[in-house]
Each structure stands twice: as C-alpha cells, then as structure tokens.
C-alpha cells in the first residue's frame, strides 16, 4: 500500500492537500531543505518505503518519529536525494564529449561544473576526458567544480575511493592511468583529484556559478516538477558561456522556453551547445 497517499484519505492532514505536502513543508521549516517542488510520484514511492521501515502508518505518524529522533532526518534526507551514479555512466556520452573537447577546446583551460555530482564519479570521469583530450598546459589550467546538496556524499567524493562495481565502465587503459588499486578498492589518481573542487550547493536555493565552458547536470531534473525544472534551468543557462557545452541526462528534456537557444550535438545524447 502507498502509505503516503493512504494518509490523505484516512487522516486528512490539515493545512495542506496531503500528508506528503505537510511533511515537505515541515522539513523546509525545520531544516531549510526545499523538496516541495520535487516530483511527487518519485517522492511518494520512496517516502512510503521509509514510513514502513520507521513503522509509521502515515506521514503524520512519521512527523512524530522525526520529533522524537532528530537523527531520523538523516535517513529522510538520504531518501530524498537519490545518489545512484557510476564512472562513465552512459559511456557513449563521454566518448562524444571527448571528441568535442579534443576538436574544440583542447588548447585553452576550461572551467567546468558538474551540478548534482553525487559521490564524484561523474566529475572524475570528466576529468579523465580532459586529461585524454587536452594539451598538458590547458589541462593544468582547467578546473572542474563539482557540487551537490549532500555534504556527506561530497566528503566521500573528496576521499575518491571506489568499489570495483563503480568503475565497471572504465577501460583497462584508463584504469591503469587514473586509478590506484588499494585493498580491494580503487583510488582516483592525484592528477584527477587536483583538477576537481567539490563544494556544497543546493541548486534549488542557491545562486549558480558563472563563466562555465562545460556544464554537466545529469539525472537531477528527472526529480523536479516542471516548474522547478524551468527555474533551475535558468540558473544553468546563466552559468554557461555562449558557445559552451551542456550535458543533461538521457531521460531529461530541455525546458521549452530555452530549447531554441541550445543546439543538439549528436543524436539522443542530450549534449547541447549554447548559441552565441
Ligand atoms: C541521481 S544523482 C546523479 C548523479 C550524476 N549526475 C549522474 O548522473 O550519475 C542526483 C544527485 O543530485 C543531488 N541533488 C538532489 N537535489 C539537489 C539540489 N537541490 N541541489 C544539488 N544537488 C541535488 C543528489 O544529492 C544526487 O547526488
């Protein structure tokens, strides 16, 4: 049973249209995390499971659990932020990106941004693309800013140690160059770690960064409703220089008001060039 929607009928929570809205409002008031415009279908499925594991029969019950045990907020936060990722996720996207960087951006330093970088897999993958495609001087002057709402995930990203399954898509030659095996795990090389700067940034509530040449924002918009997609896309658009490259997740679409200003590069890859 879907407990989240179950509450709507059985408990009729006051002051909002359903139990989930009340819960998200409370979380915003108490912690400042604004998940109010995340897609309800996804949240509802995940929170329903969380309620079951906390033995709460409704969102209202769950609010009591949160009141009694503030540590429960950690579990809730990690339920609300889905951090599935891997190195070279959708390898064909990274191959295409490598071609673009080699052809167009290999000679001058780049400023890049991975927005919603989870545990760092995507940022280090982009780093390997840069190392392969750019001149040593351009690489040395480049930076990748990798941001996420979850500071614990970023701590892990800075440690840069991964299990073998996270690097399943990494070719043997790239493994050799950019990973150091350590006690059954793999540590990202110093060369790539020096390129990436991790920082906490909640893209819903914070201003974005500026002057970016290559921007990856993949598999984040899928969690936003249309309204939030438009608002956040405005921030990405502001960040990206004219002529810069934007990469979105394969299941994501450019919000309509912006689509005329972004030229797709390749088919079905969701790589775009911002018009000059
Ligand atoms: C599914 S992961 C995507 C990771 C990577 N981009 C990829 O495609 O493999 C989504 C990431 O977005 C982060 N996230 C969710 N809401 C966010 C927000 N408001 N601001 C910044 N990051 C957010 C989550 O913490 C999570 O790490």
What are the angstrom distances between the C-alpha of 85 and each of 100, 162, 201?
23, 12, 18
Are 19 and 122 found together in one domain? no
Residues having CB closer than 6 A to ligand 1 are 81-85, 89, 116-118, 122, 148-150, 153, 202-204, 218-220, 249
Domain that holds residue 70: 3-80
Q: Are residues 208 and 255 in the same domain?
A: yes
Q: Are residues 130 and 104 in the same domain?
A: yes
Q: Which atom of ligand 1 is nearest to the CA of 205?
A: 19
Give 116 Cα–ligand 1 centroid separation in angstroms: 3
Cα 222 to averaged position of ligand 1 atoms, centre (Å) = 10
Identify the three-state secondary structure at position 73: helix
| Spacing of C-alpha 210 from chain mean position | 18
The verdict on 63 and 118 lying in the same domain is: no
Would the pLDDT of 136 be above 70? yes
Q: How many domains does the chain have?
A: 2
Per-residue pLDDT for 267 more than 60?
yes
Nearest-angstrom CA–CA distance, 145 and 131: 16
Ligand 1, atom 13, lies closest to the CA of 116
Residues 104 and 186 in one domain: yes
Integer Cα distance of 214 and 212 in angstroms = 6
Based on the fold, state whether residues 73 and 143 are members of the same structural domain.
no
pLDDT tens-place string over residues 49-61? 999 999 999 999 9
| DSSP structure class, residue 134 | S
| 4 CA distance to ligand 1 middle (Å) | 23
Atom nearest to 217 CA in ligand 1: 6
Q: Are 205 and 18 in contact (CB under 8 A)?
A: no
**Which ligand 1 atom lies nearest to the CA of residue 114?**
6
What gap in Å lies between CA 80 and CA 50, rounded to an integer?
10
Tokens coding 198: 């991790």
Q: What is the CATH number of the domain that holds 20?
A: 1.10.155
Q: Report the mean per-residue pLDDT for the chain.
A: 93
CATH number at residue 195: 3.40.50.150
Together in a domain, 266 and 134: yes
- The answer to the question of residue 86 being in a domain is no
Q: 16 and 99 share a domain? A: no
pLDDT at residue 262, rounded to an integer: 97
Strands 143-148 and 262-264: unpaired
> What DSSP line would sit under 192-215, residue for residue?
HHHHEEEEE--TTTS-----EEEE
Pair (55, 118) in one structural domain: no
**Which pLDDT value is given to residue 4?**
52
16-68 pLDDT per residue, tens: 448 999 999 999 999 999 999 999 999 999 999 999 999 999 999 999 999 99
- 137 & 249 share domain: yes
Considering the domain boundaries, does residue 15 fall inside one?
yes
Burial label, 218 (beta-carbon count in 10 A; 0-12, 13-18, 19+): buried
Nearest-5° Cα angle at 229, 225 to 233 = 175
Q: How far is the CA of 12 from the centre of ligand 1 (A)?
A: 32
Residue nearest to ligand 1 atom 27, measured at CA: 118
């Amino acid at each position: 049973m879907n407990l989240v929607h179950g509450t709507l009928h059985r408990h009729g929570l006051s002051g909002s249209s359903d139990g989930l809205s009340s819960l998200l409002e409370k979380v915003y008031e108490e912690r400042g995390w604004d998940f109010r415009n995340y897609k309800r279908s996804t949240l509802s499925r995940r929170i329903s499971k969380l309620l079951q594991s906390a033995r709460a029969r409704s969102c209202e019950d769950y609010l009591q659990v949160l009141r009694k045990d503030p540590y429960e907020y950690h579990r809730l936060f990690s339920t609300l932020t889905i951090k599935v990722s891997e190195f070279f996720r959708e390898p064909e996207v990274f191959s295409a990106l490598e071609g673009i960087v080699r052809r167009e951006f290999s000679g001058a330093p780049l400023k890049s941004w991975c927005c919603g970088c989870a545990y760092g897999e995507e940022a280090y993958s982009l780093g390997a693309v840069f190392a392969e495609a750019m001149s040593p001087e351009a690489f040395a002057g480049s930076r990748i800013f990798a941001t996420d709402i979850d500071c614990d995930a970023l701590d892990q990203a800075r440690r840069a140690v991964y299990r073998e399954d996270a690097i399943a898509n990494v070719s043997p030659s790239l493994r050799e160059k950019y990973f150091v095996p350590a006690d059954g795990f793999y540590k990202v090389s110093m060369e790539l770690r020096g390129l990436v700067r991790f920082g906490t940034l909640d893209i819903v509530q914070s201003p974005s960064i500026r002057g970016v040449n290559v921007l990856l924002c993949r598999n984040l918009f899928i969690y936003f409703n249309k309204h939030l997609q438009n608002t956040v896309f405005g921030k990405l658009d502001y960040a990206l220089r004219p002529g810069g490259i934007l990469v979105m997740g394969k299941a994501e679409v450019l919000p309509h008001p912006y689509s005329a200003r972004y030229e797709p590069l390749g088919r079905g890859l969701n790589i775009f060039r911002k018009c000059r």
